[in-house]
């Protein structure tokens, strides 16, 4: 399927290859290798949604490996609200299934973007919620997520997609300013949550759950806009580190840098949203 996409989508193939050259600084032949591998991984990611219902922590030691058991145990022991942030990297569709298997006494919420086709959207939502997580659309998510977090819940977000200026702060990502969604940062700060970067990558025939050390938002200081930017920069850097480590597994065909800052803005110049604007 990935090879079919490679030949059937010449525009995205060219865009992906050129973006890898620019953002990773690799030669054209290496960029093409990574781009084609990315198409294959992306196709696998799309299909893995069909396996959410039968993949989980019961596979630990077999198909599932925990890269940092100490961090995983710390996550399990935490009695704080948790904001889990991940990216369109590796087996990201299986992430909702893993989140759904955590402590059932806590709200477990996955925030996703709505698909244009209502029938397809309903099917995808049902597949993603197969292991117990509540899957909600991002436009209606803020109040429900905040309520869940304040009941000591867990919420998962994909934080590497392009977004509009109203939702964004502009931060460096792979060497170029990118519009970074501040919704997860704002919600984490308001709930005084821990922010945990979590990624499920493929290594040979197994899946590896990888963590970055969490950020405790209670310890973030500064004015409101500074604190939001600090949290957004934290998870953006975590995504960049994993994209650089596993470039063939990231969703390069997505136009990540499409939204640009206006000329009058400073390099990081997106204004933080008003309190009433909690869209994510």
Per-residue pLDDT reduced to its tens digit, 221-273: 999 999 999 999 999 999 999 999 999 999 999 999 999 998 645 444 444 44
Does pLDDT of 5 surpass 50?
Answer: yes
Percent of the chain with pLDDT over 70: 94
Residue 33 or 270, more confident: 33
Tokens of 1: 């399927």
Q: CA angle, corner 123, sides to 204 and 253, nearest 5?
A: 50
Give the model's confidence band at 93: pLDDT under 50 very low, under 70 low, under 90 confident, else very high: very high
Name the DSSP class of 170: E
Across residues 78-100, what is the average pLDDT?
A: 96
Instruction: Please say whether the beta carbons of 131 and 97 come within 8 A.
Output: yes
Instruction: Please say whether the beta carbons of 278 and 116 come within 8 A.
Output: no
Tokens of 16: 């992906």
Nearest alpha carbon to residue 280 among 75, 109, 101: 109
Over residues 50-82, the pLDDT tens digits come to 999 999 999 998 999 999 999 999 999 999 999
**pLDDT given at position 265:** 52
Does pLDDT of 40 surpass 90?
Answer: yes
Please give the distance of CA 239 from its chain centroid, rounded to a whole number.
8
**pLDDT given at position 141:** 86
Across residues 153-175, what is the average pLDDT?
A: 95
**pLDDT given at position 1:** 93
The region, left, alpha or beta by phi > 0 then psi within -120 to 50, assigned to residue 175 is: left
- What backbone torsions phi and psi does residue 232 show, to the nearest 5 degrees? -60, -40
**Residues, the chain:** 280
Name the DSSP class of 260: -
Across residues 200-223, what is the average pLDDT?
A: 96
**pLDDT given at position 13:** 97
Tokens of 200: 């499920």
Of the chain, the end-to-end C-alpha distance in Å amounts to: 31
Torsion sign (Cα): 66, 68, 70, 73: negative
Q: Helices 28-47 and 10-24: crossing angle, nearest 10°?
A: 120
Does pLDDT of 203 surpass 90?
Answer: yes
Across residues 78-93, what is the average pLDDT?
A: 96
pTM for this entry: 0.91
Residue 204 or 209, more confident: 209
Say how far apart CA 146 and CA 152 lie, in whole Å: 10
Name the DSSP class of 175: T
Say how far apart CA 168 and CA 218 lie, in whole Å: 22
Nearest alpha carbon to residue 219 among 248, 254, 195: 195
**pLDDT given at position 276:** 40
Give the model's confidence band at 102: pLDDT under 50 very low, under 70 low, under 90 confident, else very high: very high
Does pLDDT of 168 surpass 60?
Answer: yes
Query: What contacts 126, CB < 8 A, 6 or more positions away?
Result: none
- Could you tell me the residue ranges of all domains in the chain? 64-246
Does pLDDT of 277 surpass 60?
Answer: no
**pLDDT given at position 273:** 46
Average per-residue pLDDT for the chain: 92
């Amino acid at each position: 399927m990935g090879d079919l996409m490679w030949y059937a989508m010449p525009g995205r193939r060219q865009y992906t290859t050129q973006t890898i050259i620019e953002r990773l600084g690799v030669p054209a032949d290496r960029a093409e290798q990574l781009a084609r591998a990315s198409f294959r991984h992306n196709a696998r990611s799309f299909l893995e949604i069909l396996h959410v219902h039968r993949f989980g922590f019961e596979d630990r030691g077999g198909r599932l490996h925990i890269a940092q058991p100490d961090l995983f145990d710390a996550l399990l022991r935490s009695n704080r609200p948790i904001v889990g942030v991940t990216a369109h990297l590796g087996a990201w569709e299986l992430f909702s299934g893993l989140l759904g298997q955590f402590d059932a006494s806590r709200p477990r919420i996955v925030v996703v973007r709505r698909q244009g086709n209502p029938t397809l959207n309903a099917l995808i939502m049902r597949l993603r919620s197969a292991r117990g997580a509540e899957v909600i659309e991002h436009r209606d998510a803020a109040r429900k997520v905040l309520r869940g977090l304040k009941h000591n819940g867990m919420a998962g977000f994909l934080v590497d997609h392009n977004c509009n200026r109203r939702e964004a702060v502009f931060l460096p990502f792979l060497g170029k300013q990118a519009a970074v969604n501040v919704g997860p940062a704002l919600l984490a700060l308001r709930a005084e949550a821990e922010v945990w970067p979590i990624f499920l990558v493929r290594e040979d025939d197994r899946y590896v759950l990888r963590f970055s050390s969490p950020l405790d938002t209670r310890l973030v200081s500064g004015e409101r806009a500074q604190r939001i930017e600090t949290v957004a920069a934290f998870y953006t850097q975590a995504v960049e580190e994993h994209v650089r480590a596993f470039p063939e597994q990231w969703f390069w065909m997505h136009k990540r840098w499409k939204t640009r800052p206006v000329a009058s803005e400073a390099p990081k110049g997106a204004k933080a949203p008003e309190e009433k604007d909690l869209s994510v």
